[in-house]
Structure 1
Amino acid sequence: MKNLIKKVVIVGGGTAGWMSAALLQKVVGPSITIELVESEEIGSVGVGEATIPPIRHVNQVLGIDEAEFLRETKATIKLGIQFENWRVQNEHYFHSFGAAGKSFAFCQFHHFWKRGQQLGIDTSLWEYDLNYLCAREGKFAQIKSKDAILELPYAYHFDASLYAVYLRKYCEKLGVKRTEGKVEQISLNKDSGFVESLILQDGGTITGDLFIDCSGFKGLLIQEKLGTGYDDWSHWLPCDRALAVPSERFDKTLPYTRSIAHSAGWQWRIPLQHRNGNGLVYSSSHSTDEQAHATLLSNLDSKALGEPKMLRFKTGRRRKQWDRNVVAIGLSSGFLEPLESTSIHLIQSAIVRLIHLFPHKGIDDSAVKEYNMQSKLEFEQIRDFLILHYHVNERTDSDFWRDMRTMDIPDSLAHKIQLFAQNGKLFREQNDLFLESSWLQVMLGQGIIPKDYHPIANNLPEHKLREMLTNIKNIKHEPLSSLPSHDEFLQQFCKV
C-alpha cells in the first residue's frame, strides 16, 4: 500500500532549498507540511547571481512585490549576455532575451533579413532587437505596449545569499518549519529502500514521506545514500573549476551580463546594486589554479573585495533525479556551468515539474519515470546549447580552444548546426528552454552564416522588403529616446 505524502523534508537551504519550500508551500499548500533542515556551518555555494526571464514567473506565483524584491536582493535588470572573444579575440556579440524583427507565419524574420543582406542592406540583425538596443544604450523601463514587437523580456542579477535569506523569510511567514542541524545518518526502509528518517548530529530525528535533496554537489541523499550514479559530460564541457570574487560596484550599472572568453575558459561580470560579481570558469587540464587566479584578478574592472574562492565541479547529471522517495534539486541533481545563467532556472523547473507530478497519494512509478525523462531531456538540451558556444570557434591562441573546435559533439547538436548552416532553418525542440531567437543569435555570433534563406522571403518585392526592414528598425529604435538609464530606473522604481 502506498503512503500518502503528508510531510516533505528538504535537506539543505540556499537558493535550491528555499525556492523549493516557497513554491511547494504556496502552490501545494495546506495538504502537506514542509520542514527544511540546514546548517549555518555548511552554508551554500551562492554563486548563482544571474537569471533568465522565467524567474519572473516564480515571483509572480509567489506574489512577490518586484520593487521590494529588487531592494532586498540588491538586484539589477538583465536584458541578455554579451559574449566577448568567443569566436575570435577582440570581437563580441549579444545573446538577448528578446527577438530581432517580428514574427511571421511559416518564415522567421531572419530569412527576410538574410535576403536583405544579399541585396546589400548591410544592417546587423541586432539593430532589429530592442533588448540589444536598450542594453547598448544602458537604458531600461517596463514598456507598456500591446504591440508584441515592443516586448522587452528581462531577468535579474541579484545577490544569491540575499535571495536565499529573502525566500527564507517568505517561507517562514507561510509556515515552513526550519530546523538547524547537520544530518549524521539516513535511515532507509528495509523493504522499499525509501528514506524514512534523518538523524541529526545533535541526536534529533526528522521523519518524512518525500525528501528533497538540496545538499549541493555532495548529494547527501541522492548519491551518498542511494548511490544513484552520475552521467559525466566533461568530455564535452571540460571546464571543471571556478574562482569567484566580488569587487566594488561601478558608477554605471550595465543591464546585462558580460561573458569574456580567456585562454582556458571564460570570465563572468555581473553588476549588482552594491557590488559586482566576478568569476573565472576554467579547465584544470588547460590551466593551473595559479594561472587562473592571476587571470581573474588581472581582469577585474574594479577593486576586489576579498580573495577568490574556489569551486570544483564535474559537468553532468544524476542518472535519476528522482530515485525512490528522494528528488534531487539544485546542484545535487547535476551541474551545467553558468554560461547561460541556467542554474537557478533548473531549480525552478525541477520544483515546477515536481508540483505537476506531485504524488499526494504515494510514490507512483509512472510519475517518477516521467519526471526523470523530462529532467534528462532538459539537461541535454541545455548541454547542447552550451557546447555550441565552445565548439564553433575560430580561435587559434590556445590548446583549449583548438580542442573544443575539434572534439566530437552530440548528434543532436551536429544536426542543428548543419540544418542552420544550409538554409537558416531553426526548429525548437519540445520543451527546449531556449527559443529559436536564442539559437539564432549564438549561431550567428559564433560565425555560422547560412548559405540560403527560406523561399517565402522572396514573396515580397524588393522595394517592399526594404520598406519593411526600415520600418521595423525604426519601430525598435523609437522607444530609446524616452527611456531612463538603467540606474535611473532602479533609483526611481526601488525607492521606499
Structure 2
Amino acid sequence: MNGDTARRIVIVGGGTSGWMTAAALGRFLGPPWQVTLVESEEIGTVGVGEATIPMIRNFNLALGIDEAEFLAATQGTYKLGIQFEGWGGFGQTYMHAFGMVGRSLGLLPFHQYWLRGRAEGLAGPLGDYVLNAVIAGQNRFAHVERRPGSPLPAVPYAYHFDASLYARFLRRFAELRGVTRREGRIAEVARHGENGDVAAVILTDGTRIEGDLFVDCSGFRALLLGEALGVPYVSWAKWLACDRAVAVPSRRCDPLVPYTRSIAEPAGWRWRIPLQHRTGNGHVWCSDHMGEDEATTRLLAGLDAEPLADPRVLRFTAGRRERFWERNVVAIGLASGFIEPLESTSIHLVQTAINRLLDFLPSGAVAAADRDGFNRLAVWEIERIRDFVVAHYVCNGRAGEPFWDYLRTVDLPETLAERIAMFRATGRIVREGDELFDVVGWAQVLIGQGVIPDAWHPLADQPDRDQLAGFLDTLTTAYLRDAERMPAHADHVARFCPAGDIDVAA
C-alpha cells in the first residue's frame, strides 16, 4: 500500500466476526479506503444463540447503533451474568455476575471482609452481596446507572442474541456505509511472487478479488492465515480438553431469565441462552470421555422445551495461531484461535481485535514492528482469558468422574498456577494491566468453585464484630430492596425492545 492509491481491505468470511469487522471499518474508514467482504451463502453457521459480556455495548455505541433497534432485530434479551451449576460440586450453584461485589471498605476489596465474615458465621453466600446476582435471582431487569451519592452500584449488563441475525443486522449497517459484499466460494489464494504477501482471492467462477490488506474471518479453517500462509496452531488441549460441541435451538420457555446457564456434565457442560423467540442450547464435551451419541442424547434430554431443528455437531481444538498477523493478513475470530464459550468471550475477542487493527492500521507497507506489536498484545490478551477459563476446570469439585478428576491434576500455565496459589494463601488477586477479568470476576469464580483462602488481609480485622455484621446486613437489605423495585426481565424486554413474530425454526 502507499499513500497515493486506494487502500483495499478484503475481509474473507462473513458471520459475526466478518460483519463486525466490516461494520467497524465501514463506520470509521472513508475514502480512499475500499472495504470488500467475500462470503458464500453455501457456508452456513450454527447461529442458535450467542452470549456476550458488557463490552459489546461499547462496540455498538461506537458504531452509533440504537440498543432497542438492535435487540429487536436480533431477538435479543439482557444478560446479568452466568450461572454455574455443578462446577464447584454436585448440586452446587453460583453466579459469576457482572458488576461490583459488595462495597469496598477503605483499601480492601469486599471479598476480604466477606472471608472474615464467613469464618465468624456472619456472612451468607458471596452472591448475596452482588447486586446483579440478586436481581438475576429474581428474574428482573432494569436500566440502572449509578446515582451520584448513592451507595448502590450501577447494573452493568450484556446481551443474548441470535448470532445469525446479528450478522444480518451488521451487514445492512456496513453496506449502507460503503462496504461491498461479494458472493462466492474461494477456490484459490494468489500470492505475490516477490514478498509472499497475499495478492488476491479467486472465486470458483474465476473472479479475482485483489487487496492490499486481508482480514481472515474464515472460521476454524483459517483459509488465509493457516492454509495459505502456514501459520502454525498452538493447542491448549492439555488444559481445555473439550473438543466437541453439539447445538440445537428449542422453543422459548418462561420465565425469561436474564442470565446464561452453564450446567456441568460428566465430560463437559451444557449451555442455555434465552432469546425472545427461542432458547439456544449446546453441549460442550471431551470426545476422549464421551461419544457423540451420548453427548447428543444428554443435550436433548436436558432441554426444557421442544427442539426446533436437528442437533449440529462442531469439532474444534482449543488454542490459538502462533501469530495473528502474518505478512498482509490479519486473522479475527475463530481463524485466530478459539477458547470455548464458557465465559462468553468469543465476540469480545473479535471486538478487541478490530480495535487493535484500527490502532495498527498501516498507511503504507506493513511494518514488521507493527506486526510484532499487534501479535504481542493479541497473545497476551487471549492467554489471560485462557487462564480464567481453565481455572473453572482445574478448581472443579466433581470428584469421582474421570474427566473432572484428570483436570484437577494437570500442570497449569505458570501464570495461572501463581494466581491460584496466591489466592489460596491470602485471598489476594493482582490484576495485570488491562486484562479482561478483574478482581471481582476472579473472586466470584474461585470462591464459587470452592477455593477458600487460608487467610484474609489483616486490615479486614479492623471493624469489630458488630460493625462487620451491620455492614454485611446493610448490603443484603439494600440489594434486595433495590431488586424488588425492578420489573420482570420479560416485561422489560416486551416494553423496551419487542421483536415481534418470526419463524422460530428459521
> Do the structures match in fold with TM over 0.5?
yes
Instruction: Indicate conservation of the 8 Å contact 1:263/1:397, yes or no.
Output: no
Q: Secondary structure at the match of 1:30?
A: coil
1-structure distance, mates of 2:380, 2:41: 34
2-structure distance, mates of 1:5, 1:235: 45
Aligned partner (choices 150, 153, 156) of residue 153 of structure 1: 156
The match for 2:432 is 429
Aligned partner (choices 172, 176, 181) of residue 169 of structure 1: 172
The match for 1:106 is 107
Asked if 1:376 is matched to 2:344, the reply is no
1-structure distance, mates of 2:254, 2:468: 42
Equivalent AA in structure 1 for residue 204 of structure 2: Q
Please show how residues 39-438 of structure 1 align to structure 2 within 5 Å: 39-46=40-47, 49-146=50-147, 147=150, 149-438=152-441
1-structure distance, mates of 2:439, 2:48: 28
Equivalent AA in structure 1 for residue 278 of structure 2: R
The match for 2:504 is none
Displacement, 1:51? Answer: 0.5
Equivalent AA in structure 2 for residue 116 of structure 1: G
Q: Secondary structure at the match of 2:320?
A: strand
The match for 1:9 is 10
The match for 1:454 is 457
Equivalent AA in structure 2 for residue 282 of structure 1: W
Instruction: Indicate conservation of the 8 Å contact 2:48/2:248, yes or no.
Output: no
Q: Secondary structure at the match of 2:187?
A: strand
2-structure distance, mates of 1:361, 1:459: 60
Displacement, 1:5? Answer: 7.1
2-structure distance, mates of 1:123, 1:17: 45
Q: Secondary structure at the match of 2:31?
A: helix
Q: Secondary structure at the match of 1:134?
A: helix
Displacement, 1:476? Answer: 2.1
1-structure distance, mates of 2:272, 2:49: 12
Displacement, 1:304? Answer: 1.0
Q: Secondary structure at the match of 1:331?
A: helix
Q: Secondary structure at the match of 1:394?
A: coil
Instruction: Indicate conservation of the 8 Å contact 2:49/2:279, yes or no.
Output: no
Tell which deviates more after alignment, 141-150 or 85-94: 141-150
The match for 1:20 is 21
Tell which deviates more after alignment, 113-122 or 88-97: 113-122
2-structure distance, mates of 1:485, 1:495: 14
1-structure distance, mates of 2:32, 2:57: 26
1-structure distance, mates of 2:491, 2:130: 22
Instruction: Indicate conservation of the 8 Å contact 1:241/1:312, yes or no.
Output: yes
Equivalent AA in structure 1 for residue 223 of structure 2: L
2-structure distance, mates of 1:57, 1:419: 33
2-structure distance, mates of 1:119, 1:88: 23
Instruction: Indicate conservation of the 8 Å contact 1:259/1:268, yes or no.
Output: yes
Measured against aligned partners, the alpha-carbon deviations of 1:127-164 in whole angstroms (never above 9, x if no partner) come to 11110001000000001432474211100000001000
2-structure distance, mates of 1:495, 1:262: 34
1-structure distance, mates of 2:294, 2:288: 12
Structure 2 vs 1, CA of residues 418 and 42 (structure 1 numbering), >3 Å: closer, same or farther? same
Instruction: Indicate conservation of the 8 Å contact 2:233/2:322, yes or no.
Output: yes
Measured against aligned partners, the alpha-carbon deviations of 1:239-264 in whole angstroms (never above 9, x if no partner) come to 00000000010121110000000100
1-structure distance, mates of 2:102, 2:6: 48
1-structure distance, mates of 2:473, 2:32: 56
Q: Secondary structure at the match of 2:95?
A: strand
Equivalent AA in structure 1 for residue 308 of structure 2: L
1-structure distance, mates of 2:127, 2:301: 31
2-structure distance, mates of 1:336, 1:397: 26
Displacement, 1:31? Answer: 4.1
Q: Secondary structure at the match of 1:242?
A: strand
Measured against aligned partners, the alpha-carbon deviations of 1:400-440 in whole angstroms (never above 9, x if no partner) come to 01111111111111111110111110111122111111110
Tell which deviates more after alignment, 43-52 or 197-206: 43-52
Q: Secondary structure at the match of 1:378?
A: helix
2-structure distance, mates of 1:460, 1:89: 35
Displacement, 1:105? Answer: 4.7
Normalised by the length of structure 1, the TM-score is: 0.97
2-structure distance, mates of 1:9, 1:104: 52
1-structure distance, mates of 2:6, 2:411: 45
In structure 1, list runs of 5 or more residues that go unmatched.
none
- May I ask how many residue pairs the two structures share in their alignment? 496
Instruction: Indicate conservation of the 8 Å contact 1:268/1:280, yes or no.
Output: yes
Displacement, 1:48? Answer: 5.7
Q: Secondary structure at the match of 1:243?
A: strand
After superposition, the CA RMSD in angstroms is 1.5
Identity of aligned residues (%): 48
1-structure distance, mates of 2:467, 2:88: 34
1-structure distance, mates of 2:434, 2:393: 23
Structure 2 vs 1, CA of residues 350 and 47 (structure 1 numbering), >3 Å: closer, same or farther? farther
Equivalent AA in structure 2 for residue 447 of structure 1: G
Q: Secondary structure at the match of 2:51?
A: coil
Measured against aligned partners, the alpha-carbon deviations of 1:58-101 in whole angstroms (never above 9, x if no partner) come to 11001111111111000010100110111211111110012211
Structure 2 vs 1, CA of residues 48 and 286 (structure 1 numbering), >3 Å: closer, same or farther? same
Instruction: Indicate conservation of the 8 Å contact 1:5/1:210, yes or no.
Output: no
Structure 2 vs 1, CA of residues 353 and 227 (structure 1 numbering), >3 Å: closer, same or farther? same
Q: Secondary structure at the match of 1:64?
A: coil
1-structure distance, mates of 2:252, 2:49: 18
1-structure distance, mates of 2:470, 2:12: 59
Displacement, 1:119? Answer: 2.8
Measured against aligned partners, the alpha-carbon deviations of 1:260-316 in whole angstroms (never above 9, x if no partner) come to 001000000010000000000000000011111111111111111121101000110
Instruction: Indicate conservation of the 8 Å contact 1:249/1:302, yes or no.
Output: yes
Q: Secondary structure at the match of 1:355?
A: helix
Normalised by the length of structure 2, the TM-score is: 0.95
Tell which deviates more after alignment, 452-461 or 228-237: 452-461
Displacement, 1:47? Answer: 5.2
